[in-house]
Amino acid sequence: MAGSLIVVAGPSGVGKGTLIRRVLEADPNLWLSVSATTRQPRPGEVDGQDYVFLSDADFKKLVESNGLLEWAEFAGNYYGTPALPVLNRISRGTDVLLEIDLQGVRQVRESMASARTVFVAPPSIDALTARLEARGTEDRAAIARRLAAAQSELEAAGEFDCVIVNDDIEVAVGQLLAWIHGDSA
Ligand code: 5GP
């Protein structure tokens, strides 16, 4: 049986990374797609593991050769999902997770109608702002761009099949696993 495509989105700083790491640890049949990006690596990020880090020119080549399932410009950088690894794993029965922005979610909904989408929401905008500032990985201008994107992402939460509020991480992990395995959240 084919695996399913599960798309996770939510504003930058909401804690999607931790949530996804925890569900991957809990479910060995889940595989997280590694995106390509033109953003600079953050300290500790590993090429090929966190992202495939590409130049603008190489990213453009990937777009032109139809190598991406979806792609978008987010806060001044390009991001995209390499198509083949995702399609291969789904056909072999693995459930694949994508962690992408709202523009990407909309493209995947068009191209893969069976995709299931989940939105991870912060308890409040103040909590999100505090998290982005505490993370310290972006300068002030980048934080402002990410908060602006967060506003429009939050307005779109109603488009998703499921919304999980990441207030208590243990609760959120349990809710996401339950939803992935077919319980209604
Ligand atoms: P970050 O720079 O914080 O790693 O990611 C910024 C945003 O880009 C996040 O909202 C993340 O979900 C999104 N993103 C990461 N990879 C992809 C991708 O392959 N496609 C799209 N559309 N967005 C992505």
Cβ 95 under 6 angstroms from ligand 1: no
Q: Phi and psi at residue 171, in whole multiples of 5°?
A: -65, -45
> Which residue lies with its CA nearest to atom 2 of ligand 1?
39
3-state DSSP call for residue 38? coil
> Which residue lies with its CA nearest to atom 5 of ligand 1?
12
Ligand 1 centroid–CA 175 distance in Å is 22
Query: How many whole angstroms separate alpha carbon 53 and alpha carbon 73?
Result: 14
Taking CA 168 as the corner, what is the angle to CA 162 and CA 172, rounded to the nearest 5 degrees?
Answer: 30
pLDDT exceeds cutoff 90 at 120: yes
pLDDT exceeds cutoff 60 at 184: no
Asked whether the whole model's pTM tops 0.85, one would answer yes
Range list of β-strands (E), the chain: 5-9, 30-32, 36-37, 52-53, 68-74, 77-82, 95-99, 116-121, 162-165
Q: What ligand 1 atom has the least distance to the C-alpha of 80?
A: 19
Instruction: Summarize pLDDT for 150-179 with one digit per residue, the tens.
Output: 998 999 999 999 999 999 999 999 999 999
Beta bridge partners, 68, equal 82
> Rounded mean pLDDT of 92-99?
97
